[in-house]
Amino acid sequence: MLTPVRCSLVAIGIALCPAALAAQRPEVAPLGAYLGRWHSVGESHTTRFSKAGRSSADVECRWSAGGRFLACDMQIVAGGDSIEQLSAYGPADSGRFALYAVTPGGRPAYHSRVTIAGNTWTYENPDAPATGTRWRTVNQWVSPGEMHWRAEFSDDGEHWTTTNEGVSTRVG
């Protein structure tokens, strides 16, 4: 069995241990779908919250040293702006996951509740009001190397309007 002490003693093991530790943690195994490097292209639609346009992103995800969290470094280009984001996924309650994301420049961090059902990940704001506009992002893995995503809002929780959508492809 690999332990953190053994990982720190074996030079080659340093690179391999986080993946091995995560494999020993079935509670985070579903997050492994997002491991590696990804390139995304997307399109925004004109809605009351968004303008039509194109976006792209480069993402690299890897296990934390202890194998309990998935850390993703993201570079997003949208509307002429470049935004860097660091996200951490980890286990939460009732088989769900939590996402915490930070960006530079003093913007507040945010978090989402992530529900994984088969090949679909749904991100929702756990602090969303009972009434009013709600947001969600849905990621649908169509293969191990391709994921389709969309961001949506709803005023009633039943009828959703897509603000932007795209495709992410594993590139490494």
Q: Which residues have C-beta within 8 Å of that of residue 143, sequence separation ≥ 6?
A: none
Q: Is residue 20 scored above 90 in pLDDT?
A: no
Question: What is the dihedral sign for C-alpha 18, 75, 86, 144?
Answer: negative
Q: Is residue 40 scored above 80 in pLDDT?
A: yes
pTM of the predicted structure, to 2 decimals:
0.83
Average pLDDT of the chain is 86
Q: Is residue 8 scored above 50 in pLDDT?
A: no
Q: Strand, helix or coil at 3?
A: coil
Q: What residue spans define the domains of the chain? A: 4-170
**pLDDT tens by residue, 61-85:** 999 999 999 999 999 999 889 999 9
What is the structure's pLDDT at 18? Answer: 52
- Which uninterrupted H or E stretch holds 156? none
Domain 4-170 is found in CATH 3.40.449.10: no
**pLDDT tens by residue, 102-150:** 999 888 898 999 999 999 999 998 877 777 899 999 999 999 999 999 9
Question: What is the dihedral sign for C-alpha 154, 102, 84, 140?
Answer: negative
Alpha helices in 10-161 (DSSP H): 11-23
